[in-house]
Structure 1
Amino acid sequence: MKIAYIASQVTLPSSPNRREDAFEHDLMMDSLRPAFAARGMTIEDIAWDNSDADWSSYGAAIVGTTWDYWDRQDEFLSALARIESKTRLYNPVSLIRWNIHKSYLRELEAKGARIIPTVWLDKADAKNIAAAFAMLQAEDLVFKRQVGAGAEGQHRLKPGDAVPDMPHPMMVQPFLPSIQSEGEYSFIFIGGDFCHALVKRAVPGDYRIQSKYGGKETPVDPPAEDLNDASAIIAMLDEAPLYARVDMVRGEDGHLVLMELEAIEPYLYPVEGPRLGDMIAEAVKKRLETAPV
């Protein structure tokens, strides 16, 4: 049986304009290929917007490194809906549609998740930015796209800073010093089960922890309290997704707070989690065996 790993033109090895962090795509495929082969399946990487793809020829499709969707949101969601009409899609488009806009954080907060105080701006102009500083009572704010990933279009501002061009709706949060002093934690869950955790740290002088900005990852064995905080986020979903990554940072009170729940196309750090490939392949196998005909 063939399984599709849905990528993007900018992450596939054959791309002439490949993203600089696309090596993470290669690491994912290196983890998945032998694990699926051991269970009698093959996994192939293919771009979500490949017009020649025969999605019905795949037993299932896993949304992977689709790292251009934030500028093509409607097209992306429509493509996933078409794929889901031809084969089983993990994660399902209903979950992806919910998770694609970061306002999902408000719903998780209503269920008990601890999040960073956030102001939501439809328009990030000087007037609204000044109001955000006042509302959050902070002197150091981070502005993120409400639909985005990988710190694309992200800005860190202090009062009086020049206002950069932010043409998209933004979410605004106080900068937490722990992102630099301790780092950001990622907890990886497969089928609702914990797989592994790691801490991501930025290079000195930066706060962005992504690899394309020089960020480095270190595996960690999380204490029970931290793991419980992350597991509680997964438990808030109606059903366990095939995969999810819970990103958290340390709040001023010493407890973890939720940065993001990534259920669309997160990099799952296979180097730091050697069990990842086997856990994903086994979870897909079980889902296919128990899926209604």
Structure 2
Amino acid sequence: MTRIGFLACADTLPPEQGSVDERRGDAFEHDLEIAALRPAFADAGLDLIEIDWRAPLGAFDGMALVLLGTAWDYQDHPDEFLARLDALERRGIAVCNPPEVVRWNAEKAYLNDLAARGATIVPTLWLDDAGREDVVAAMDHFGTDRVVVKRLVGAGGFGQHSFTREDLPDAGWHMGRACMVQPFLPSVVDEGEYTFVFVDREFSHGVLKRAAQGEYRIQSLYGGFECGYSPSAQDLATATAVVAALPFDSVLYCRIDMARLPGGELAVMEAEMIEPYLYPVQGPDLGDRVAKAVAARLRAA
């Protein structure tokens, strides 16, 4: 069988393979994705191997391709992660998604590129750092009483803050890194956040993600939950147009996360092409889709 790597990190790997005493709270998503992919890969003659992205390079020998999987600590080590992907490519191992996609997608300023290509994004201010005065200025700029401050390089809601005029950060608070400030969208709590999963640019399945009571972050680490979602023709067309706006033809998988603006239009919050969780429970044929896409790439190599 052809060996395919599934890049993970110590916090998401199963206990017998990881090097930590306790896995991340969302590591069950790693297990769900592996359970969906492995049987379909085996049927396609592919042996899916979970591996820490920091494993010695020799451990990757014999692999034809690696998926970026659940390497969910890359955001704190982006240069090291990119160097590893480059090293794998130099060894003749195909990387999905490729390093050039990761470089573009790692900093959320890529949203500006999508906007220039016609996609609707959430209104955003881009700052080298943010303090209390910047938060107030952003509220004035957007004409809102609540904003969200996010890391420019980040995922999973880590290091994210939400402030209101009644609950501002302390006077000495600083984000301490490049960041983005956006108006808080009430629809994220009232309606939920929508995810559209694409494999080889074809729509696979939709997901509606909801926040827990009293929260606005929809990730499972914060009590968020999800359910299946069949998008309207208009909403699907909006998401598909975002995929069409991507500046790459080599994207194996893509997860478009969107929220509804006050005017009713969906806007891009994220176009995740590095290591997104692909919600296999809501997409029962995800394994087959990814296996076929990988096999097609290997045949074309």
Q: Paired residue for 1:199, among 183, 208, 212?
A: 208
Cα distance in 2 for residues equivalent to 1:176 and 1:53: 47
Cα distance in 2 for residues equivalent to 1:133 and 1:218: 32
Q: Paired residue for 1:32, among 34, 37, 46?
A: 37
Native 8 Å contact 1:185 1:200 kept in 2? yes
Q: Paired residue for 2:104, among 93, 98, 103?
A: 98
Cα distance in 2 for residues equivalent to 1:8 and 1:24: 13
Instruction: Answer yes or no: is 1:221 the counterpart of 2:230.
Output: yes
Instruction: Answer yes or no: is 1:77 the counterpart of 2:78.
Output: no
Q: Paired residue for 1:46, among 51, 72, 75?
A: 51
> 1:255 maps to which residue?
265
Judge which range, 11-20 or 68-77, deviates more.
11-20
What whole-Å deviation, never above 9, does each CA across 1:86-116 have from its counterpart, x for those lacking one?
2001000000110000000001001111111
Displacement after TM superposition at 1:51 (Å): 2.0
Provide the TM-score with structure 1 as the length reference.
0.96
Cα distance in 2 for residues equivalent to 1:185 and 1:82: 35
> 1:277 maps to which residue?
287
Cα distance in 1 for residues equivalent to 2:149 and 2:137: 13
Instruction: Answer yes or no: is 1:129 the counterpart of 2:135.
Output: yes
Q: CA RMSD in A?
A: 1.2
Displacement after TM superposition at 1:165 (Å): 4.7
Secondary structure at 2:134's aligned position in 1? helix
Where in structure 1 are there 5+ consecutive unaligned residues?
none
Displacement after TM superposition at 1:52 (Å): 5.2
The residue identity in structure 1 corresponding to 2:96 is Y
> 1:56 maps to which residue?
61
The residue identity in structure 2 corresponding to 1:13 is P
Judge which range, 205-214 or 125-134, deviates more.
125-134
Cα distance in 1 for residues equivalent to 2:62 and 2:194: 38
Judge which range, 265-274 or 54-63, deviates more.
54-63
> 1:162 maps to which residue?
169
Q: Paired residue for 1:288, among 269, 277, 298?
A: 298
> 1:2 maps to which residue?
3
The residue identity in structure 2 corresponding to 1:103 is A
Q: Given the superposition, is the C-alpha separation of residues 97 and 85 from structure 1 closer, same or farther in structure 2, using an over 3 Å criterion?
A: same
Cα distance in 2 for residues equivalent to 1:165 and 1:64: 32
> 1:11 maps to which residue?
12
Native 8 Å contact 2:129 2:174 kept in 1? no
Instruction: Answer yes or no: is 1:22 the counterpart of 2:27.
Output: yes
Cα distance in 2 for residues equivalent to 1:203 and 1:132: 26
Cα distance in 1 for residues equivalent to 2:48 and 2:221: 26
Native 8 Å contact 2:97 2:250 kept in 1? no
Cα distance in 1 for residues equivalent to 2:55 and 2:22: 16
Where in structure 2 are there 5+ consecutive unaligned residues?
none
Native 8 Å contact 1:116 1:259 kept in 2? yes
Native 8 Å contact 2:135 2:147 kept in 1? no
Native 8 Å contact 2:98 2:250 kept in 1? no
Cα distance in 2 for residues equivalent to 1:66 and 1:43: 15
Native 8 Å contact 1:234 1:240 kept in 2? no
Q: Percent identity?
A: 46
Native 8 Å contact 2:192 2:208 kept in 1? yes
Native 8 Å contact 1:36 1:278 kept in 2? yes
Native 8 Å contact 2:7 2:50 kept in 1? yes
